[in-house]
Amino acid sequence: MCGICGIYQYGPGEPVREESLRGMLHSIRHRGPDGEGMHLEPMLGLGARRLSIIDVAGGGQPIYNEDGSIVVVFNGEIYNYRELAHDLQSRGHRFKTACDTEVIVHLYEEAGDDCVRMLRGMFAFAVWDSRQRRLLLARDRLGIKPLYYADEGRLVFGSEIKCLFHDPHVQPRANLKALGNFLSLKYVPSPQTMFAGVASLPPGYLMTCDAGGVSIRPYWDLSFASRTNGHVREEEYAEQLSALLRECVQSQLVSDVPFGAFLSGGVDSSLVVALMSESLQRPVRTYSIGYDGDGEQCSELAYARLVAERYQTDHHEVIVRAGDLVNLAEKIVWHFDQPIAEQAALPNYLVAEAAARDVKMVLTGEGGDELFAGYARYAGERLSPLFRYVPQQAKSLALAAIAGIPRLRRPKLALQAWCETEEVSRLTKWFPLLNSEMKSQLMSEELKRNLNDASPEQVFAQQLARADGADVLSRMLYVDTKLFLPDALLARGDKASMAVSLEARVPLLDHKLVEFAASLPSGLKLKGLTRKYLLKKVARRLLPADVIDRKKEGFPTPLNTWFRKEARSFLRDNLSHSAVVRRGLFSPKYVNKLLDDHDSGRGDYAGLLWALVQVELWHRMFIDQNVGARSAVQSSASSVPT
């Protein structure tokens, strides 16, 4: 695991300056505290920061082929590298290290751009072919590892957006269209970012760059059309899934350093811990999050303890308090590069921080909900046909009747979705940070003018046009795998763990398992209204029934209570009338109404208020300080603790 960066002046322009590359590397030093390396030519610079996991002594980067004509910088892990290395050695390639990174340069010599199709793992990398004067960038199939870039005749790229601003040709400017999507979806959908002129390379895509320019194309997509044999019995599917889960977890235990696991108490992370325990000859180190005081009702430690006790893990617990939010909010926004309205950002960061004191790598449970239909919206969408026959007036009356009841958030979401007849509009309604009416009241006139041609429906429509699933559940899972999973959950997980120099692996997102899950009949993922049916069937052999049968809570936090009590001043300071007026993005009157309604209990707007705080903090750090003053980015990078 590392952080990478680079600059390629592929058209006429200035040479690459060493100080720019060093500044880029310095800004992502938390991603790789174990070493730094550069490859520098007049018009090209590549850099890598290393977090040593495999071949600790010999795996420094950049890595070259035998004659030095091909060079790679790499972030991630290749889980089938031993098999690939053995095959490449049989073809005459000579390896200088035992590191997975070196596989890529030799594989590129054999297969060119198609080398990426042979990799099983999580990755973002750059390969420089000096003979062809050609740069190849690639990102893994599911978007586990990030890769950002700016291109205006000079390609600047890196594992984090902030590092791009150390090149004088890239300046931080707000992308208001992306802000509009963020307010609707809770995240910024790729390839957009919150910075104008900066894009995210989408998952499953590669980019090539030479004197002729930049080309981007997909090398992988997820198909739901290729179904498994319909005559296979349910029990046979369960056996296939069980075997594949074991294989994926086992393959990701390769490490030359101590490792552990995050244990939330949910089915996915608990299943990963159970399979790790079966494979290892020692107790698994597990790390869980909980809350006390007013937040204790959100704590899931009891379920995590059931799993820890069954498998006798070396268990560690972290208690999160409101003061942590106040103290760490700026740090989190800095490391995340752009707002992500995931309330789990703080606990994710703190559990990673606790684990990083003991280990350098953890396995996590991300992906199970998107693969096997774990979210309530999937069951909710299954009910939508029943509402086609309900008169529109009756639906509107029902919505009006519950509009003022703060604790009925999910019923409101469902009714808003069921009121839509078009699939793309209906599916978008399951994701709102705020509905269209609230969004219109919240946004300033200036912001509205900038959002005339931007809408989350367009984002969803683009993905739905690529989805080949015959049923609505398959199409929902496809969209979630392409958008919510990489741009919200995986982005949060990568930024939170790498902020403390911790590698986080996600065995449920091995692409072989993802493809198998997509091939399953939808009725084995959502059976009636039972979510994750087949995965839970497999999990029953390994986990306590209480863990499997409990109500899914996601990653609950007591943010709503904190914002009414201990963190109230923090919230109101950052969203004060003067602060909102100065920013010019939102209506001060409406923001004040949100604050008052949340305070009084007339509404629960904790998620939205947290999102607005992030936007404010993000503007201060990245935009206010840095417009026309790149040096401010450098000083900020040094002043914000890593």
The domain spans of the chain are 2-218, 234-373+495-549, 376-478, 559-639
In this structure, are residues 181 and 188 in contact, taking their beta carbons and an 8 Å threshold?
A: yes
3-state secondary structure of 40: strand
Strand spans (E) along 484-619: 503-505
3-state secondary structure of 243: helix
Report CA dihedral (380, 383, 388, 391) to the nearest 10 degrees. -70
In this structure, are residues 166 and 23 in contact, taking their beta carbons and an 8 Å threshold?
A: yes
* Predicted confidence (pLDDT) at residue 413 exceeds the cutoff of 80: no
pLDDT per residue as tens digits for the range 104-130: 999 999 999 999 999 999 999 999 999
Say what percent of the chain tops pLDDT 70.
91
Element (DSSP H or E) covering residue 90: helix 81-90
Say what percent of the chain tops pLDDT 90.
74
Give pTM, 2 decimals.
0.93
**Radius of gyration in angstroms for the set of CA atoms belonging to the chain, rounded to a whole number:** 24
DSSP designation for 195: B
> In the structure, what pLDDT confidence band is assigned to residue 384 with cuts at 50, 70 and 90?
confident
Question: What pLDDT sits at residue 56?
Answer: 75
State whether CATH 3.40.50.620 applies to domain 234-373+495-549.
Answer: yes
Task: Collect all residues with Cβ–Cβ distance below 8 Å to 235 and sequence separation of at least 6.
Answer: none
pLDDT per residue as tens digits for the range 266-294: 999 999 999 999 999 899 999 999 998 77
pLDDT per residue as tens digits for the range 52-96: 877 777 778 999 999 999 999 999 999 999 999 999 999 999 999
In this structure, are residues 613 and 574 in contact, taking their beta carbons and an 8 Å threshold?
A: yes
pLDDT per residue as tens digits for the range 427-458: 777 776 677 778 889 999 888 888 766 688 88
* Predicted confidence (pLDDT) at residue 627 exceeds the cutoff of 90: no
**In the predicted model, what is the mean pLDDT of residues 511-533?**
96
> In the structure, what pLDDT confidence band is assigned to residue 634 with cuts at 50, 70 and 90?
very low
As a whole number of angstroms, the distance between CA 573 and CA 587 comes to 16
Q: Which two tokens stand for residue 308?
A: 């820890």
Q: Which two tokens stand for residue 39?
A: 């490859």
As a whole number of angstroms, the distance between CA 54 and CA 523 comes to 41
Task: Collect all residues with Cβ–Cβ distance below 8 Å to 76 and sequence separation of at least 6.
Answer: 1, 2, 121, 122, 123, 124, 125, 140, 144, 145
Phi then psi for residue 188, to 5 deg, are -100, 115
Q: Bigger pLDDT: 386 or 466?
A: 466
Question: What pLDDT sits at residue 456?
Answer: 84
Report CA dihedral (414, 420, 421, 424) to the nearest 10 degrees. -90
pLDDT per residue as tens digits for the range 366-382: 999 999 999 988 888 88
**In the predicted model, what is the mean pLDDT of residues 399-415?**
64
DSSP designation for 94: -
Closest CA to 346 of 492, 184, 489, 161: 492
Closest CA to 27 of 50, 1, 5, 59: 5
Phi then psi for residue 283, to 5 deg, are -65, 140
* Predicted confidence (pLDDT) at residue 391 exceeds the cutoff of 80: no
Q: Which two tokens stand for residue 584?
A: 């010019």
DSSP designation for 624: I
As a whole number of angstroms, the distance between CA 338 and CA 188 comes to 8
Report, at the CATH architecture level, how domain 2-218 is classified.
Answer: 4-Layer Sandwich (3.60)
Residue length of the chain = 642
In angstroms, how far apart are the furthest CA atoms of the chain?
74
CA atoms within 13 A on the CB side of 87: 12
As a whole number of angstroms, the distance between CA 201 and CA 9 comes to 19
Please report, in angstroms and rounded to a whole number, the separation of the first and last CA atoms in the chain: 17
* Predicted confidence (pLDDT) at residue 631 exceeds the cutoff of 60: no
Question: What pLDDT sits at residue 433?
Answer: 64
In this structure, are residues 307 and 275 in contact, taking their beta carbons and an 8 Å threshold?
A: no
